[in-house]
């Protein structure tokens, strides 16, 4: 089963929690054992798994990424979003989560995040349950 969801991000850099959306798609698939792949088909966005209990993790992550790859570095790419491309490479375009007994095997504190680095934009996320 493959589902495409559409997102509208509201800021240049934003982290959106996709965990409940992916859980619902896994449930809808009726897969008992397998995997779910969450894939972002964009070069200036990414997807990650990390703690979702404390909202400051998201802001800490964004602050760190901006120090690691500042927007105003002297890049050769002329579109003005080179930092977003590099951040996307560092984070990655997909995550894979095992499914057992119809549920994702995420850790107790883990959530699935869409990471926007060049918004606001309309974005797609592909979710494949096998």
Query: Stretch 24-53: mean pLDDT, rounded?
Result: 97
Strand 34-39: give its sheet, edge to edge: 2-8, 122-129, 34-39, 94-100, 103-104
Domain at 31, CATH number = 2.60.120.460
What are φ and ψ of residue 117, in 5° steps?
A: -120, -5
pLDDT number for residue 18: 98
Q: What is the span of the domain harbouring residue 105?
A: 2-129
Least confident of 12-21, 66-75, 111-120: 66-75
Read off the pTM. Answer: 0.95
The residues that bridge with 98 in the sheet, in sequence order, are: 35
Tokens standing for residue 93: 């375009």
- Domain tally, the chain: 1
Q: What does the pLDDT look like over 50-102, one tens digit per residue?
A: 999 998 999 999 999 999 999 988 989 888 899 999 999 999 999 999 999 99
User: Across the beta sheet with 14-17, what order do the strands follow?
Assistant: 14-17, 110-116, 45-51
């Amino acid at each position: 089963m493959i589902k495409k969801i559409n997102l509208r991000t509201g800021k240049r850099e934003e982290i959106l929690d996709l965990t409940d959306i992916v859980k619902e798609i896994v449930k809808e698939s009726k897969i008992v054992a397998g995997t779910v792949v969450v894939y972002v088909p964009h070069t200036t966005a990414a997807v990650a798994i990390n703690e979702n209990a404390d909202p400051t993790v998201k802001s800490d992550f964004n602050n760190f990424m901006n120090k690691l790859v500042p927007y105003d570095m002297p890049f050769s790419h002329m579109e003005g979003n080179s930092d977003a491309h590099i951040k996307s490479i560092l984070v990655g375009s997909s995550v894979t989560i095992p499914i057992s007994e119809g549920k994702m095997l995420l850790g107790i504190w883990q959530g699935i995040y869409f990471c926007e680095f060049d918004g606001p934009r309309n974005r797609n996320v592909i979710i494949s349950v096998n």
